[in-house]
């Protein structure tokens, strides 16, 4: 079959590669060791960072939409986040084809560089409400990036704006929560728990808030799956060695598995 309409002269037109900056993208995989399997390691992490960039793009927009009571708009963004999360979860399956012996061939080339230092992962955690003061210090080498992390660290996360949405809907939310210090990780509040219980008991009346709650549960569920697959992949490849960035490795990754971003949304299932 002939495709006579295909454009072949791009002397005065932008190409696909130019639009996507493929010259930069595809030349950014520089193996420091020259070892064959280092390419896998680099590509998986770069692809994951690109997906994280999209997650942040959608989360930031969703937070803004929720603040403006545009919940249906936020639902589309949060649904997209959930779909992206499936991609970065599956990425661990590809990385797990790297054996311990293969990784040790180039691990020293990383120096102190570590996924622990992924600032986009930290921004995602901040957007989900998990705040740790010492994390910001990692990025002091780059003042502009450090300021970006500091701003996100002190900004309300998506659950904070969801709680504000409950208050605007007329629920008697503890007023101290609405203007609290958002740099402190949220621990839970009885007024929020009561509000979500009312939402789940009256789904038709509070349909948008119910949908918001379920979208948040989807995201937390997927994020915890990502954390678990991260932990098991690291354990499979390096066991219980200390991470290249100085973290305790698997022990640290296991320690965050029990943290809940949106505690009342999990508690309500028991109370219903």
- Residues annotated within the binding site for heme are 230
Question: Residues marked as binding for substrate?
Answer: 41-45, 103, 107, 244
3-state secondary structure 132-158: CHHHHHHHCCCHHHHHHHHHHHHCCCH
Q: Hey, CA dihedral for 248, 104, 224, 67, is it positive or negative?
A: positive
Q: Which residues contact 92 (CB under 8 A, 6 or more apart)?
A: 226, 229, 230, 232, 233
Q: Which of 167, 192, 196 is nearest to 269 (CA)?
A: 196
Q: Are 56 and 120 in contact (CB under 8 A)?
A: yes
For tokens 């990754």, what's the residue? 253
Positions at the binding site: 41-45, 103, 107, 230, 244
């Amino acid at each position: 079959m002939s495709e006579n309409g295909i454009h072949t002269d791009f002397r005065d037109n932008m190409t696909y590669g130019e639009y996507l900056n493929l010259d930069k993208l595809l030349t950014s995989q520089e193996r420091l060791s020259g070892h064959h399997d280092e390419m896998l390691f680099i590509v998986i992490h770069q692809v994951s960072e690109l997906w994280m960039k999209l997650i942040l793009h959608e989360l930031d927009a969703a937070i803004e939409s929720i603040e403006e009571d545009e919940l249906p708009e936020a639902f589309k963004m949060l649904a997209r986040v959930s779909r992206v999360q499936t991609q970065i979860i599956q990425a661990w399956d590809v990385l797990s084809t790297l054996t311990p012996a293969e990784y040790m061939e180039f691990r020293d080339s990383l120096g102190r560089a570590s996924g622990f230092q992924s600032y986009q992962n930290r921004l995602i955690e901040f957007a989900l409400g998990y705040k740790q003061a010492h994390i910001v210090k990692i990025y002091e080498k780059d003042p502009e990036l450090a300021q970006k992390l500091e701003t996100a660290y002190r900004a309300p996360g998506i659950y904070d704006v969801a709680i504000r949405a409950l208050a605007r809907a007329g629920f008697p939310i503890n007023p101290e929560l609405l203007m609290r210090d958002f740099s402190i990780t949220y621990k839970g509040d009885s007024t929020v728990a009561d509000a979500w219980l009312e939402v789940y008991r009256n789904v038709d009346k509070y349909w948008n808030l119910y949908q918001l709650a379920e979208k948040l549960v989807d995201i937390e569920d997927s994020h915890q799956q990502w954390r678990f697959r991260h932990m098991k992949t690291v354990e499979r490849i390096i066991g219980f060695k200390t991470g290249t960035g100085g973290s305790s490795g698997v022990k640290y990754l296991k320690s965050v598995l029990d943290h809940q971003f949106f505690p009342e949304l999990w508690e309500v299932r028991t109370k219903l």
